Amino acid sequence: MRVVIFQYDVYYGDVEKNLNKVKSLFEAADLQEDDVVVLPEMWTSGYDLENIDVHAANELEPIKTEISGLAGKYSVNVVAGSIPNKVDGEVYNTAFYVDKSGEQRHQYSKMHLVPMLNEPAFLAGGKDTSETFDLLGENAGLVICYDLRFPELFRDLVLQEAKVIFVVAEWPLARKDHWLTLLRARAIENQCYIVASNSIGTQDNGTTFAGNSVVYNPFGEALVQGSTDEEEILKAEIDLDYIDEVRKDIPIFDSRRKEMYKFL
């Protein structure tokens, strides 16, 4: 399985420009059939929350149709980052996955809203429980940015046999060390692949994002890592058999004592 992460500077509050940007990245990426393309969080608007009602899709449209078209055109699977998404008058931060036939196969709205970026004042918290989805015949998980701080969510996905967990983000530079440390810890403690996309650049509201999109293997090694401030298309081959090797050498899932944990 090859993953292809688009790391770039999301235009603040300009859905059309962002869509054109994504289309140009698809064109530039030299994609192969079956690649898994990964976009960042809130990639249609950035954190222009004051105007989020205007930028929000309606039940993912028309963005879902655009992404389905790109998936079909390039014969690739797309972890379509997240977008502001209006459902029954509420705006959610919703990530989705479309396979190469253009069908949407999974959707997840961010359950942990981030106070540091003022999300709870403008967005509704997702009501979807943690579920895995089928990615090229394997189980995968999809979470959004601040979710990274909740190890129980990752463990839950891995106990549902997720082998790869995608973290789509707009993670600020101010906490770059947390980003890399937590991603790596999630890979090591769950012995799974972590594929993380982040944006770069400074938004009109003054927040600078940390880049450093990265893929960690189940041993905690970075297979590829972006810079802090450059636009990049990052590619990594994922060997899912390596998960079994690591779990054989360090058998934490056999050593677990779930009957002993009081609050899990």
Ligand X SMILES: NC(=O)CCC(=O)C(=O)O
Smallest distance from ligand X to CB 169, Å: 6
* Identity of residue 153: L
Residues between 149 and 208 that touch ligand X (CB under 6 A):
149, 169-172, 175, 178
Q: Which residue is nearest to ligand X (CB)?
A: 145
The catalytic position among 86, 100, 110, 163 is 110
Judged by CB, which is closer to ligand X: 143, or 162? 143
Q: Given the rule CB under 6 A, which of 72-80, 82-90, 109-117, 155-163 is the region that contacts ligand X?
A: 109-117
The CA distance from 240 to 238, in Å, is 6
100, 119, 145, 192: the active-site residue: 145
Q: Which stretch binds ligand X (CB under 6 A): 55-63, 134-142, 143-151, 219-227?
A: 143-151
> Least distance in Å: CB of 159 to ligand X?
23
Q: Is 145 in the site for ligand X (CB under 6 A)?
A: yes
- How far is C-alpha 247 from the chain's CA centre? 24
**Does 117 participate in binding ligand X (rule CB under 6 A)?**
yes
Which string of x and - marks every residue 49-88 that binds ligand X (by CB under 6 A)?
A: ----------------------------------------
176 as an active site residue: the answer is: no
Is 119 marked active-site?
A: no
Determine the Cα–Cα distance for residues 250 and 65; give it in Å rounded to an integer. 44
- Give dist(CA 151, CA 135) in Å, integer: 22
Q: Which of 6, 8, 26, 146 binds ligand X (CB under 6 A)?
A: 146
Please state, in angstroms and rounded to a whole number, the distance separating the CA atoms of residues 25 and 38.
11
Least distance to ligand X from the beta carbon of 235, Å?
24
> Any contact of residue 41 with ligand X (CB under 6 A)?
yes
Least Å distance between CB 117 and ligand X?
A: 5
Q: With CB under 6 A as the contact rule, which of the stretches 110-118, 154-162, 190-198, 244-252 interacts with ligand X?
A: 110-118
- Other Cβ atoms within 10 Å of 81 Cβ, number: 29
Q: Is the preceding peptide bond at 115 cis, omega within 30 degrees of 0?
A: no
Which listed range, 142-150, 213-221, 226-234, 249-257, lies at the site for ligand X (CB under 6 A)?
142-150
Assess whether 258 carries a catalytic annotation: no
Catalytic residues, which ones?
41, 110, 145
Residue ranges in contact with ligand X by CB under 6 A = 41, 114, 116-117, 145-146, 149, 169-172, 175, 178
